[in-house]
Amino acid sequence: SDPDLVERAHAARAALGDRAFVLGHHYQRDEVIDLADVTGDSFKLAREAAARPEAEFIVFCGVHFMAESADILTSDAQQVVLPDLAAGCSMADMAAIDQVEDAWDVLVEAGVAEDTVPVTYMNSTAAIKAFTGRHGGTVCTSSNAHVALRWAFDKVGGVEGTGKVLFMPDQHLGRNTAVNQLGLSLDDCVVFDPRRPNGGLTAQQLKDARMILWRGHCSVHGRFSERNVTDIRAAVPGVHVLVHPECKHEVVTAADMVGSTEYIIQALAAAEPGSSWAIGTELNLVRRLARAHADKQVHYLDSTVCFCSTMNRIDLPHLVWTLESLVAGRVVNRIVVDADDAHWARVALDQMLALPG
Binding residue ranges: 25, 42, 89, 121-123, 142, 218, 244-246, 261, 308
- Please report whether residue 123 would count as binding ligand 13P according to CB under 6 A: yes
- Please report whether residue 125 would count as binding ligand SF4 according to CB under 6 A: no
Q: How many other CB atoms sit within 10 Å of the CB of residue 88? A: 18
Q: Please state whether beta strands 57-61 and 38-40 pair in parallel, antiparallel, or not at all (unpaired).
A: unpaired
Q: How many other CB atoms sit within 10 Å of the CB of residue 197? A: 8
Task: Give me Rg for the CA atoms of the chain.
Answer: 21
- Please report whether residue 41 would count as binding ligand 13P according to CB under 6 A: yes
Q: Which is nearer to ligand SF4, 88 or 194 (CB)?
A: 88
Q: Which is nearer to ligand 13P, 300 or 321 (CB)?
A: 300
Query: Rounded to the nearest whole angstrom, what is the least distance from the CB of residue 149 to ligand 13P in the complex?
Result: 16
Strands of 276-280's sheet, edge to edge? 257-258, 240-243, 276-280, 297-300
Alpha carbon distance 347, 232 (integer Å):
43
Give the closest residue to 312 by CA, choosing from 40, 14, 80, 63: 63
- Please report whether residue 142 would count as binding ligand 13P according to CB under 6 A: yes
DSSP-derived letter for residue 241 is E
Which residues from 258-287 bind ligand 13P, rule CB under 6 A?
A: 260-261
Residues 6+ apart with CB under 8 A from 188: 178, 179, 209, 210, 211
- Please report whether residue 123 would count as binding ligand SF4 according to CB under 6 A: yes
- Please report whether residue 307 would count as binding ligand SF4 according to CB under 6 A: no
Applying CB under 6 A, what is the total number of residues that bind ligand 13P?
Answer: 10
Q: Which is nearer to ligand SF4, 84 or 246 (CB)?
A: 246
| Preceding peptide of 3 cis, ω within 30° | no
Alpha carbon distance 277, 267 (integer Å):
10
> Binds 176, which of ligand 13P, ligand SF4, none (CB < 5 to 8 A, cut-off by type)?
none
Q: Which is nearer to ligand SF4, 247 or 319 (CB)?
A: 247
Alpha carbon distance 102, 211 (integer Å):
18
Applying CB under 6 A, what is the total number of residues that bind ligand SF4?
Answer: 13
* Backbone angles phi and psi of 242, in degrees to 5: -125, 120
- Please report whether residue 63 would count as binding ligand SF4 according to CB under 6 A: yes
Binding residue for ligand 13P, selected from 218, 229, 252, 349, defined by CB under 6 A: 218
> Binds 42, which of ligand 13P, ligand SF4, none (CB < 5 to 8 A, cut-off by type)?
ligand 13P
Q: What residues make contact with ligand SF4 under the rule CB under 6 A?
A: 63, 89-91, 123, 218-220, 246, 282, 308, 310-311
